Amino acid sequence: MNPSLDAVLVLVVLLNFFTLGSSRVSAVIRATGTQGVLLAALPFLVHEPLSTHVVLAGLGTLAVKGIALPWLLMRAMRDVTIRREVEPLIGFTTSLLLGGAGTGLALLFSGGLPLAPEHAESRLVPAAFATVFTGFLVLTTRRKAITQIVGYLILENGIFLFGLLLLDALPVMVELGVLLDLLVGVFVMGIVLHHIQRTFSTIDTARFSTLKE
């Protein structure tokens, strides 16, 4: 058992609960960015000795999940002037209760899986299940499109946790999995373009020069 690995996984799960209970979009985005930084440390804790694929997976995760996507989401939030998640489909308390139930089920279900001995004692698989469930919950129960994107990102974080188990066997697939986050960038740009079109009835930037104070 690796105490550092389990400590990082506990923090990842706690950030899941923070995301479910927070109504401020900026706080949710920062929590997701922090989760991305924690995920970047996991390849170095799960796989020893270090290899080129492990280093690339860690650095790529830090650059994309920990820095680039949170910055892009914060910029989009400012562009569309979103501050709070108002009237989600289910309340924040209910979200927390469902998140707790999902985390408990993840612990029970992962205990019956035929895992390798080096992973059976860690909390990697239950944390992955819990994170996937949290992402799905945020994705399906929030009204704001930008918060739904955060939900997708959290869900993909859970998939990344699963992928760490395959880093030695299928390293290229795990590294390519980081590219799934590029979809988030596409989603964010779609939100910004839709907001511009709704406000100005066009997305032709050449016509903005005709605006006067």
Per-residue model confidence (pLDDT) at position 134? 94
Rounded to an integer, the average pLDDT of 128-153 is: 87
Secondary structure (3-state) at 83: coil
The answer to whether 144 and 82 are in contact (CB under 8 A) is: yes
Using the structure block, give the residue that is written with the tokens 């709704």. Answer: 198
Q: Does residue 96 carry a pLDDT above 80?
A: yes
* pLDDT confidence band for 42 (50 / 70 / 90): confident
The confidence score (pLDDT) of residue 35 equals: 94
Give the domain ranges of the chain: 3-210
Check: CB of residue 132 under 8 Å from CB of residue 159. Answer: yes
- Find the mean pLDDT for residues 105-127: 75
Amino acid at 72: L
Q: Report d(CA 106, CA 171) in Å as an integer.
A: 25
Mean pLDDT across 183-196: 59
Q: What is the mean pLDDT of residues 29-50?
A: 86
CA end-to-end span of the chain, whole Å?
64
112 three-class SS: coil
pLDDT value at position 32? 92
Residue 136 has pLDDT above 80, yes or no: yes
Average pLDDT estimate for 185-192? 61
Number of H helices, E strands in the chain: 10, 0
Q: Is 84 in a helix, a strand, or coil?
A: strand
**Residue of higher predicted confidence among 66 and 177:** 66
Q: Look at residue 51 in the predicted model and tell me its pLDDT.
A: 73
Mean pLDDT on 171-194: 58
